[in-house]
Amino acid sequence: MGIWGTGTRALAVGCIAAGLLSVSVASAQASDDYPYAWQGQCPIVPQEPIEEPTPTPTPTPTPSPEHQGKPGKPGEPGESVAPEAEPPPPPPPVLDPVSGHLYDPRGPKPTCARRVWAINGSIGDPWGFVLRNCTSFVAWRLHERNGMGGFANDMAGEHWGNANNWDDTARRLGYRVDDVPAIGAVAQTDDGRVGHVAWVSAVGPGTVTVEEYNHAVPGGYGTRTVPVGDFRYLHLADVAPSPLIGSDRPVVSVADRLGESWTARVDDAGTLLVSRPGRPARVAGPREVFSPVVAPALVLDRRGVPWVAATTRDGRVLVGTLRKGRFTLRGLAASATTASPALAVSRTGRPTLATTSPTGTLTVRRLTQHHGWSRAARIGAPGSWATHTAPVLGPDGTGDTLLVAVGRAGATYTRALERGRLVRLRGEAGSITSTPALTSTGDGTTYVHQVTASGRLVVRTRTAGQWSRPRALDGDWSPYASPAVGEVVGGLQVAALDARGTLLVRAAVPGERSRVAGRIRSTGDPTRSPGLVTRSNAGVFVVDGQGRTARARLLARPASAVAGRTTPTRAGFTA
């Protein structure tokens, strides 16, 4: 990735990254919309001149002197040589699309001495990078696909330069740089003399597909699918989060009147499991149909009967309750496959359901007194809500059902469903891949904990119907995971992941001190949200990981706990 330097024209070798996999890369094609594809000329390695072949004379038999004037005999040797034949004309020159030079097809193709191309004497593209290099192609992608019309080599007064500088420049400008891919992110590596950058076009389980220039084909377009760990990722203006990041959580729980927790989770195979206190988990609904990247929703109505909702792999929301010892679920709404549904019990004692559609439309339904569900009531403008976070429902300090939801651009809104209108909460944009936590305490205060797009964990409080300004908890937090908040040892505690995927437990109110362990050994995955589970006779547990790797750790044990009892390791998982 040579760059178009400021003040002088600098030639530099382009995107050769040492140690990368050798793969076949398609040449320029319809998906290559780079405006300088196969244009310009590179300096070429001097070629040996092609020598024209010298034709060999062909002997022609002529009569001998004694047979002059007489017919010759067959097979007699000739006495003279025919004139040389004219050599065939050289073939027309052929244009080599890589180097941009004409060459004689009888010889080798031209080879670029340096992977730098000039058009009309200039090697710089309009954004300040070298033509047909990886930096130039990614700049074009950022303009055309990401909408970054102002991106250039001197954007914001910084010099982006060669590809190995891009991650450092992005950090200085406040952009997030991490190991989690996203559609439209810049994939970057320092490997090779000047590094390499590419544009992320798709994300799979453990893999990333990139579009690039000047990697395997000199000055040419290619795509390849490689392990996620081959690159780091610059989130300059992502088109969409990874489809494998959703509003997941290893377990959701709700306490009954005795302080024991009902729990629900979706296992690795996509089966929904619900467990009542002290009983084995039971399958709810069809097996292996639910999305493993979103958590279910669970609530108890006024009679203590559980209601559960979960999103399937194909985007249906199945909702139901326990009847005659079995969970009976029915399809009720459409949802993004990366967004959890939300359930809460309203003032009437009946469940309320909130879902976000695949196109980002937020709707609310209520269970009627006739045990049917109301028509969907739309909240806000169609298509305006983030599809990788879950809407949040819960009672506020007055008993109203409060809705909290994140918009596509990270704006956070609340609304009391029984009355009122949408209110935008003050503060910076929230992460569109982290679901806020809504908590109400006995003193009538309501809390919203949320990770912002920049990785701050902020807290807002609502008293007497008014929201406070956000206050931040210390730390650099993962924008891909959702915080979990609960009452532990007489105070609110928040469990959340930092940017490196370490599970931390902090006092949930700024200025207060935590009475529990601050750092919990965890998976190190910044996309795995934690969960909290309460057992009145065993304590409060924090759970992290997913499926078979989920682990529960005791945060606090009540004074009534049996002395000498060993710490449970599968709280909430009684299968």
123-156 tens-digit pLDDT: 999 999 999 999 999 999 999 999 999 999 999 9
Distances 347 to 299, 354, 400 between C-alpha atoms, Å: 14, 16, 7
pLDDT confidence of residue 558: 52
531-535/519-520 β-pairing: unpaired
Flag whether pLDDT at 451 surpasses 70: yes
pLDDT interval class at 56 (50, 70, 90): low
Residues 6+ apart with CB under 8 A from 526: 178, 179, 180, 478, 480, 481, 497, 498, 499, 500, 501
pLDDT interval class at 45 (50, 70, 90): very high
Least confident range from 162-166, 255-259, 466-470, 525-529: namely 255-259
- When pLDDT is averaged across residues 231-249 and rounded to a whole number, the result is 95
Higher pLDDT, 60 or 135: 135
Neighbours of 90 (CB within 10 A): 11
- When pLDDT is averaged across residues 442-448 and rounded to a whole number, the result is 89
Q: Can you give the residue ranges of every domain in the chain?
A: 1-43+112-244, 252-556
- When pLDDT is averaged across residues 6-21 and rounded to a whole number, the result is 34
3-class secondary-structure state, position 223: strand
- When pLDDT is averaged across residues 157-162 and rounded to a whole number, the result is 96
pLDDT confidence of residue 546: 63
pLDDT confidence of residue 520: 80
pLDDT interval class at 571 (50, 70, 90): very low
What residue type is 88 in one-letter code?
A: P
Flag whether pLDDT at 465 surpasses 80: yes
pLDDT confidence of residue 84: 64
Asked if the 1-43+112-244 domain carries CATH number 3.90.1720.10, the reply is yes
- When pLDDT is averaged across residues 169-195 and rounded to a whole number, the result is 96
Report the alpha-carbon distance of residue 201 to residue 203 in Å, rounded.
7
Flag whether pLDDT at 48 surpasses 50: yes
pLDDT confidence of residue 208: 97
Q: Report residue 546 CA to chain centroid gap.
A: 18
Asked if the 252-556 domain carries CATH number 2.40.30.10, the reply is no
Higher pLDDT, 56 or 319: 319
Strands (E), 384-456: 392-395, 401-406, 412-416, 423-424, 437-440, 446-451
Partners of 241 in the beta sheet?
Answer: 182
pLDDT confidence of residue 574: 36
pLDDT confidence of residue 49: 80
| Residue 557 near residue 536 (C-beta atoms within 8 A) | no
pLDDT above 90 covers what percent of the chain?
62
Reported as a single tens digit per residue, the pLDDT across 205-231 is: 999 999 999 999 999 999 999 999 999
Least confident range from 118-132, 263-277, 540-554: namely 540-554
Reported as a single tens digit per residue, the pLDDT across 496-537 is: 999 999 999 999 999 888 777 677 877 789 999 999 887 655
Flag whether pLDDT at 21 surpasses 50: no
- The residue with tokens 């326990």 is 322
